[in-house]
Amino acid sequence: MAMTPEEFYQHALAATDSDKRLPLSRMTGWEISPFEQDGLRVTPLRPPVLPEPPRHGEDPATCSICADRDKGIWFNARWRLDRISGNGVPLILMLYPRDHCDMADLPDDMAAEMGLLSTRIVRHMQAVPHVARAHMYRFGDGASHMHLWFFARPEGQAQLFGSWLPVWDDLLPQYPSALADADATLVADALLTSSGGSRTSR
């Protein structure tokens, strides 16, 4: 059984300094870290908040992702793919179920479809010229409506490897929108060929 919230907090506190700051993570010493360790410090560890605050869209009636169910660059009956704007990397796409559900709530047939769509999205993003890799992330603490992130890493930028890529994306200057739109269109067209669907909601 997992530790209780208080047990976890006390366990973590045992590793902190007098200001309740944990030591810098091993990741900050990696050569791909966007930060130099000198002068970097960890935010003080805060005690648990219980009950946890609700995530955005816990009530489907107020879910902005549900309100955008017809917004995107590719659709089928149960899924939609959209481009995220304002990014620093060449392309960020987001896959959503069109109806309100979280990842743990997906029926098995949708979960299987999600796996196949995710593989094809990665494959199609990596086929875009000058995209070296496409990385997929799933975070579920901000919004209750499931969403999968797909980040395109630019070719040759080895410093942007792996788990630091979303942080680098936030630090980089905004990528030209017209280029990202054109590349998103390439991915959507390839997804039409591999998975069917349409470029408009129905």
- Please check whether residues 92 and 168 belong to one and the same domain: yes
Ranges in the chain, pLDDT < 50: none
- Please check whether residues 108 and 179 belong to one and the same domain: yes
Domain that holds residue 96: 71-195
- Please check whether residues 85 and 185 belong to one and the same domain: yes
Tell me if 200 is assigned to some domain: no
- Please check whether residues 22 and 113 belong to one and the same domain: no
pLDDT at residue 202, as a whole number: 74
Q: What is the pTM of this model?
A: 0.93
- Please check whether residues 13 and 85 belong to one and the same domain: no
CATH code of the domain covering residue 156 = 3.30.428.10
- Please check whether residues 30 and 130 belong to one and the same domain: no
How many domains does the chain fold into? 2
For residue 141, the tally of other CB atoms under 10 A from its CB is 8
pLDDT at residue 109, as a whole number: 97
- Please check whether residues 113 and 166 belong to one and the same domain: yes
Residues 60-83 have pLDDT tens digits of: 999 999 999 999 999 999 999 999
